[in-house]
């Protein structure tokens, strides 16, 4: 058995899995630092609890539905790997021929864990724990897992030639458009001028740094081997980040007259979300350009959100949703066959647009319907009085800071 496993690749993928795992608490710090002081712990808790709940979903059916034997191009077989049945230390020739199959399972699980927490930044303070747990469970099963199968598990999009190296569509597009739907269903907060200020940009910076660090495993792990493709994705990750950050700063200076620290943080995350789907398909030379495009397109999306008054509290749609969507489409424009066998062409561009639009529509409509159903059968929203008292105080009976009555 041990002779079938490449030890170097196994160590590499263990590291990548741990790095992606780190991104969930990293996201918690990022969102917690950007949230209001009254709701820091609650929004952080939403990220942390996903690790427990989604892990159990993944082990008891989710992995099989995503990567089990294909049924009509739509879903995998739940019985194939239920309870880790047939998931052991022997490599699987279809998904990862040089590492233990259980390690591939865990690497993919970390992607699943972080996706719903990404959505939480949009509906900050507007969904109670009951509503969030319902969303976490049903959204994971009904939206994330089918999309993962369509694109990575042998489903119809993969058979069409659609590609997504590390989750620009599976994770960022789906989470971003789900975030937009949640804003439409849950409505806007009643905030006074100045009340939406971030609680702690230093905490947000720590979270951003953890996301940067974890993203190297997020993207390069898509190669499933410690090889040149992994090195390419690794390099493109930092180049995409840099291109987006600098362009975001230029745009901020041009249109707002100054560059704020939050611009630096947000620009980098936009670049990472956009480079993610194409990190393993494009040459190094195009990565900074992808980042620059990300900054422009995501800034436009944020401006649209502000113009129409959509209360996407932490710009999940504008940064993650539009970033992942844009990066997915750019594969059809910049892909280089010498990198990973996919060439830019009108055909590839059409397939990429079709897949990205389909997933965006599914995520938006599915999330809208789910939240409407939850709201019809139970109370899923904190009251306005609870929001004013502080979500942390009311729902958790805890506070992040002992600073009197600071908002």
pLDDT recorded at residue 194: 58
Q: What is the DSSP letter of 99?
A: S
Instruction: List the CATH number of the domain containing 295.
Output: 1.10.3430.10
How far is 177 from 256, CA to CA, in rounded Å? 27
Q: Report if residue 61 sits inside a domain.
A: yes
Q: Give the tokens for residue 20.
A: 């992606």
Q: Which residues on neighbouring strands pair with residue 75, listed in sequence order?
A: 71
Q: Report if residue 258 sits inside a domain.
A: yes
How far is 255 from 246, CA to CA, in rounded Å? 14
How far is 36 from 24, CA to CA, in rounded Å? 20
Instruction: Tell me the per-residue pLDDT of 314-347, one tens digit each, with 9 for 90 and over.
Output: 999 999 999 999 999 999 999 999 999 999 999 9
Q: How many domains does the chain have?
A: 1
Q: Which residues on neighbouring strands pair with residue 128, listed in sequence order?
A: none
Q: Report if residue 367 sits inside a domain.
A: yes
Mean pLDDT over the full length of the chain: 94
Q: What percent of the chain has pLDDT over 90?
A: 86
Instruction: Tell me the per-residue pLDDT of 47-77, one tens digit each, with 9 for 90 and over.
Output: 999 999 999 999 999 999 999 999 999 999 9
Which domain does 232 fall in, by range?
2-387
Q: Which ranges in 187-342 belong to alpha helices (H)?
A: 201-220, 228-256, 261-275, 287-308, 316, 322-334, 337-340
Average pLDDT of the residues in 6-23: 97
pLDDT recorded at residue 407: 46
How far is 68 from 141, CA to CA, in rounded Å? 14
Report the phi/psi class of residue 284: left, alpha or beta, with left for phi > 0 and alpha for psi in -120 to 50: alpha
Q: Report if residue 70 sits inside a domain.
A: yes
Q: Report if residue 31 sits inside a domain.
A: yes
Q: Report if residue 398 sits inside a domain.
A: no
pLDDT recorded at residue 173: 98
In degrees and rounded to multiples of 5, residue 372 shows phi and psi of -65, -40
Tracing tokens 């100045």 back to the chain, one arrives at 194
Angle, CA of 111, 221 and 169, to the nearest 5°: 45
Average pLDDT of the residues in 2-28: 93
pLDDT recorded at residue 37: 85
Q: Report if residue 323 sits inside a domain.
A: yes
Burial classification of residue 309, based on how many CB atoms lie within 10 Å of its CB (0-12 exposed, 13-18 middle, 19 or more buried): exposed
For 161-173, the DSSP string reads T---SSSIIIIII
Q: What percent of the chain has pLDDT over 70?
A: 96
Segment holding 344, helix H or strand E = none
pLDDT recorded at residue 196: 64
Q: Which CA distances in Å does 278 have to 18, 103, 123, 287, 342?
A: 22, 23, 28, 9, 10
Q: Report if residue 352 sits inside a domain.
A: yes
How far is 293 from 248, CA to CA, in rounded Å? 10
Q: Give the tokens for residue 131.
A: 């509503």
């Amino acid at each position: 058995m041990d002779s079938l496993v490449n030890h170097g690749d196994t160590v590499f993928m263990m590291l990548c899995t741990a790095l992606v795992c780190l991104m969930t608490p990293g996201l918690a710090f990022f969102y917690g630092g950007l949230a209001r002081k009254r709701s820091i712990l609650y929004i952080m808790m939403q990220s942390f609890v996903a690790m427990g709940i989604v892990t159990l979903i993944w082990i008891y059916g989710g992995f099989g539905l995503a990567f089990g034997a294909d049924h009509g191009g739509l879903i995998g077989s739940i019985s194939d790997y239920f309870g880790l049945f047939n998931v052991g230390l022997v490599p699987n020739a279809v998904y990862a021929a040089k590492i233990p199959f259980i390690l591939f399972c865990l690497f993919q699980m970390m992607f699943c864990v972080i996706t719903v927490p990404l959505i939480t930044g949009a509906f900050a303070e507007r969904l109670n724990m009951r509503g969030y747990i319902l969303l976490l469970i049903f959204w994971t099963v009904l939206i994330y897992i089918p999309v993962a199968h369509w694109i990575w598990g042998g489903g119809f999009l993969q058979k069409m030639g659609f590609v997504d190296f590390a989750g620009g569509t599976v994770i960022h597009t789906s989470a971003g458009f789900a975030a937009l739907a949640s804003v439409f269903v849950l409505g806007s907060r009643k905030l006074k001028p100045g009340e939406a200020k971030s609680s702690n940009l230093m905490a947000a910076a720590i979270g951003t740094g953890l996301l940067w660090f974890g993203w190297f495993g997020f993207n390069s792990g898509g190669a499933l081997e410690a090889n040149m493709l992994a090195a390419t994705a690794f390099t493109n990750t930092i180049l995409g980040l840099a291109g987006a950050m600098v362009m975001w700063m230029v745009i901020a200076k041009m249109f707002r007259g100054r560059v704020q620290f939050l611009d630096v943080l947000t620009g980098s995350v936009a670049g990472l979300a956009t480079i993610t789907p194409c990190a393993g398909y494009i040459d190094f030379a195009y990565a900074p350009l992808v980042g620059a495009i990300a900054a422009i397109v995501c800034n436009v999306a944020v401006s649209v959100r502000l113009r129409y008054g959509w209360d996407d509290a932490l710009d999940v749609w504008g940064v993650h949703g539009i970033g992942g969507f844009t990066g997915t489409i750019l594969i059809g424009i910049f892909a280089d066959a010498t990198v990973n066998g996919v060439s830019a062409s009108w055909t590839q561009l059409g397939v990429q647009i079709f897949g990205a639009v389909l997933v965006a529509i599914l995520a938006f409509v599915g999330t809208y319907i789910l939240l409407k159903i939850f709201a019809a059968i139970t109370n899923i929203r904190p009251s306005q009085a609870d929001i004013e008292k502080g979500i942390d105080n009311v729902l958790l009976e805890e506070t992040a800071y002992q600073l009197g009555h600071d908002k």
